[in-house]
Amino acid sequence: MIEDTRPILGISIGDPGGIGPEVTAKALDQREIHDVCRPLVVADSRVIEDVLRFTRLTLKVNRVDKPKEGFYQHGTVNILHVANMDPTRLRYKQVTAEQGQASFEYVTTVIDLALKGEINGTVTGPINKAAINAAGHHYAGHTEIYADLTSTLDYAMMLVDGDFRVVHVSTHVSLREACERVKKDRIIRVIDLTDDALRKLGISSPRIGVAGLNPHCGEEGIFGTEDEEEIRPAVEYAAKSGKNVEGPIPPDTVFPKMRGGMYDAVVVMYHDQGHIPVKLIGFQYDGKTGVWGTVAGVNVTLGLPIVRTSVDHGTAFGKAGEGRANPESMIEAIRMAALLSRKS
C-alpha cells in the first residue's frame, strides 16, 4: 500500500456568520487543492451543509472523529464536527457572542490537533474580533491566540502575494505604541524569522530589505531618530551575522524595489506600512459595480512551533450567506500551508 504523503491541514472556518465557511467550501471544490494536501475542515458540519445549499456546490460531507479517518479525495469535504452552532441561531452578517464562541472553538481545536501531531499544519478563516471578545475571549486576533496557546513569545506576521512579502515588527497596536516598539532587538528577531521563513519557501539566499520608520529614514535626525538609533544598528548586526539585508530604506521606495526583484521580503515597522502595499497589489475593487475582483494574499505567522496560514481578509459580513464570496485568498493560504508543512 502506497503511503499518502500529502500533509493533513486543519482548516478552521472562522466566524459562521461571515464568508469563512463559504470560501472554505469553494476552495475545497478545487481539484488542485486535493493534489497538494489532505484538507480537514474543523467546524459545525451543519454550517457547511448550509453553505452547500446556497452555493449549490455538489460536495459530499463526511464527518470524521479523527483526522486520519478522512476520505481525502476531490468531491468530499471531511469535517471534524464541533457541535456548537445551531442552524436556527445562525445569523449571517451579524456579530453575535455565540458565533464568536464557535469560531474560537474551531481555532483552539486546530491548534490542539497540530500540537498533538495529528495534523501537519493549520489554515484559518476570518474571525470577528468583536464577536470573540463578546464571547469572553480577549484577544486582538488569530495571531495572539496562536501565540498564547503555543506559549510562543517571539512571533511575527508575514503577508504574501506571490513574490511580494512583508513581515511586521508590530501589528495590532496603536500607531503611537508601534513607534515605541521600533527597537533594535525586536528588529533583529524579525529579520531572523524572515530569513528562516524564506529559506523554508525554497529561497536559498534570501535578500531582505528593511523599511525605515520616518519620512526619508529621518533625514539624519531631522524627522526622527529611530532609523539611526534602532533600525540601522539592527540591520548592521544582522548583516554581520551573515544575513543578506539592507536598510533602513525609505518606506516610499522600498516596496517598488521589492516588486522589481531587488528583495525577497521587506521587514516593515508597523501594521499599515505592510498591509497597504500588499492589499494595493492583491485586492482589486471595481467602484462602478461595487464588486471585488481579485482578493489575493496570505497571512503567515512566523515563529510558531506549528504551521499557520490564513486568508488576508476579514469576515465581509456585507456579502455573507449570498454565495458571492471570492475564495482566492483561502486557496492561496491552503497552498502555502501545504508547502510549509512539507518543509517543517
What does the DSSP assignment read for 51-115? HHHHH---PEEEEESSGGG---STTEEEEEE-----GGG--TT---HHHHHHHHHHHHHHHHHHH
Under CATH, which number does the domain 8-152+304-343 receive?
Answer: 3.40.718.10
Element (H, E) at 265: strand 265-268
Give first-to-last CA distance, the chain, whole Å: 25
Residue in the structure block whose three cell numbers are 502555502: 336
pLDDT given at position 1: 60
In angstroms, rounded to a whole number, what is the distance separating the alpha carbons of residues 25 and 21?
A: 6
For residue 223, what is its C-alpha cell?
Answer: 524627522
What per-residue string of b and e applies to 279-303 under the rule 16 or more CB within 10 Å gives b?
bebbbeeeeeeeebeebbbbbbbbb
Element (H, E) at 178: helix 175-180
Do 8-152+304-343 and 156-278 share a fold?
yes
What is the domain partition of the chain in residue ranges? Answer: 8-152+304-343, 156-278
Q: Judge contact between 277 and 253, C-beta under 8 A.
A: no
pLDDT given at position 294: 59
pLDDT given at position 13: 97
Instruction: Kindly report the backbone phi and psi dihedral angles of residue 146, in degrees, each rounded to the nearest multiple of 5, phi listed first.
Output: -60, -45
pLDDT given at position 344: 60
CATH superfamily of 156-278: Isopropylmalate Dehydrogenase (3.40.718.10)
pLDDT given at position 2: 74
pLDDT given at position 212: 97
- Residue-wise pLDDT tens for the chain (344 aa)? 678 899 999 999 999 999 999 999 999 999 999 999 999 999 999 999 999 999 999 999 999 999 999 999 999 999 999 999 999 999 999 999 999 999 999 999 999 999 999 999 999 999 999 999 999 999 988 999 999 999 999 999 999 998 999 999 999 889 999 999 999 999 999 999 999 999 999 999 999 999 999 999 988 888 889 999 999 999 999 999 999 999 999 999 999 999 999 999 999 999 999 999 988 886 776 676 665 555 667 999 999 999 999 998 889 999 999 999 999 999 999 999 999 998 66
The number of CA neighbours under 13 Å toward the Cβ of 112 is: 9
Q: Judge contact between 317 and 93, C-beta under 8 A.
A: yes
Q: How many residues does the chain have?
A: 344
For residue 2, what is its C-alpha cell?
Answer: 502506497
In angstroms, rounded to a whole number, what is the distance separating the alpha carbons of residues 280 and 95?
A: 27
In 3D, which of 263, 249, 247, 158 has the Cα closest to residue 203? 263
pLDDT given at position 281: 83
pLDDT given at position 222: 87
In angstroms, rounded to a whole number, what is the distance separating the alpha carbons of residues 84 and 97?
A: 12
Cis bond before residue 248 (omega within 30° of 0)? yes
In 3D, which of 34, 46, 25 has the Cα closest to residue 4? 34
Other C-beta atoms within 10 Å of 136: how many?
A: 10
pLDDT given at position 269: 98
pLDDT given at position 170: 94
Can you say how many angstroms the Cα of residue 54 is from the centroid of all Cα atoms in its chain?
Answer: 26
pLDDT given at position 228: 96
